[in-house]
Amino acid sequence: AASPHIPEALQNQVRTGGHLVIPVGELSEQTMLKLTKISSTEWRQEAFPGFRFVPLTGEGGWSV
């Protein structure tokens, strides 16, 4: 499910060297982001545009 932003709760679950892949953007179109945690304060981000997913609702997502 797509989110309007990267939920902090998901980022907090990733250990150093780990990855988080998540579609982020508007309801009509999202960008697939691949985040790699480099250190406790540093992330590397790769973006792949042109995706469309169902919306994430609730905490970290859109209001219903």
For the segment 20-57, what is each residue's pLDDT rounded down to a tens digit? 999 999 989 999 999 999 999 999 999 999 999 888 88
3-state secondary structure of 8: helix
Extents of the domains making up the chain: 8-51
Measure the CA–CA gap between 33 and 46, rounded to whole angstroms: 6
Tens of pLDDT, residue by residue over 51-62, are 998 888 888 787
- pTM comes to 0.83
Strand partners for 19: 36
